[in-house]
Amino acid sequence: MAIIVLDPGHGGSDSGAVYNNYFEKDFNLAIARETKNYLSANYNAEIHMTLSSDSTVDLAERVNIANNLGADVFVSIHINAGGGTGFESYIYTNVSSGTESFQQAVHKVVAEFYQALGFPDRGTKRANFYVLRNTIMPAVLLENLFIDNQRDLDQLREPGFAGRLGERIGLGIAGAMHLTTSISPSAPEPDPEPKPPLNAWDPQGEIERLRRDGLVANEYSPSDPVTWGQFATVLNRLRDSL
Ligand SMILES: [Zn+2]
């Protein structure tokens, strides 16, 4: 089964970027949790996080977690800062084409989500980041909006946003990795056998139904009298068929 490592940037004593008392680490963790929940609920894959609560985990440890697990991909989740707006993603400067296409696939799905909200796609980029350089599997780092831009920050703070973004990141990862869905399509209900409407009065038809189903052997007309012998036989055939 595919192994995915999600890396919420910063945490614990390392807050990441800070603006007006908003900490990058909190957004990163919330988004990564939502991504994990979405992937776990919908796809056949094993999802790990380098940290699952607000704790200090250094960069070497994050890399070791992914490398030791033999992860198939590593996705680091961050918020940008330093003047700007929108979304961009990073891979290491010198990577295989597999990493490049992984970045392209994830980036496209997430950038479309941001563009629909009016935030620019700043593009696919390369950088010499520690976690990208030292992980041995395709690794991408996502910079989600700018914490020090008021409009971007308002979007990050919007209730439910982490959930929607996490789902999009998950969708991007699942598409890039061709993950199979864990949800089996529900089988359509079979049509119930049509029954005659209750108000239809068709005595000859009723006798034919009994004959067809083997409860009576002979052809009878609706006005024929019934003996106790016939009646008991029909009742017992009914009982035997239950
Ligand atoms: Zn960061």
- What's residue 186's pLDDT? 67
- What's residue 118's pLDDT? 98
pLDDT in tens, 26-63: 999 999 999 999 999 999 999 999 999 999 999 999 99
Q: pLDDT band at residue 188, thresholds of 50, 70 and 90?
A: low
Q: Whole-angstrom Cα distance, residue 28 to residue 7?
A: 9
**DSSP helix/strand/coil, 207:** helix
CA of 35 to the centre of ligand 1 (A): 17
Ion ligand 1 residues within 5 Å by Cβ: 9, 16, 78
Say if residue 210's pLDDT is above 90: no
- What's residue 32's pLDDT? 98
pLDDT in tens, 121-178: 999 999 999 999 999 999 999 999 999 999 999 999 999 999 999 999 999 999 999 9
- What's residue 187's pLDDT? 65
CA of 209 to the centre of ligand 1 (A): 76
- What's residue 213's pLDDT? 83
Q: Whole-angstrom Cα distance, residue 37 to residue 163?
A: 9
CA of 142 to the centre of ligand 1 (A): 9
User: Where do we find the tokens 């960069």?
Assistant: 59
CA of 201 to the centre of ligand 1 (A): 78
CA of 80 to the centre of ligand 1 (A): 6
**What is the rounded average pLDDT for all residues in the chain?**
93
- Could you tell me if 90 and 135 are in contact, meaning their C-beta atoms sit under 8 angstroms apart? no
Distances (CA, A) of 84 to 103, 109, 113, 235: 21, 21, 18, 84
Active site residues: 143
Q: pLDDT band at residue 217, thresholds of 50, 70 and 90?
A: confident
- Could you tell me if 194 and 188 are in contact, meaning their C-beta atoms sit under 8 angstroms apart? no
CA of 16 to the centre of ligand 1 (A): 5
* pTM metric for this prediction: 0.76
- What's residue 222's pLDDT? 84
- What's residue 126's pLDDT? 98
CA of 11 to the centre of ligand 1 (A): 10
- What's residue 132's pLDDT? 98
Say if residue 200's pLDDT is above 70: no
Which residues does 173 contact at the CB level (< 8 Å), separation at least 6? 4, 35, 39, 73, 75, 106, 179
Q: pLDDT band at residue 185, thresholds of 50, 70 and 90?
A: low
Q: Domains of the chain, with CATH numbers?
A: 2-177 (3.40.630.40), 203-241 (no CATH)
- What's residue 203's pLDDT? 81
Token pair listed for 47: 């999802």
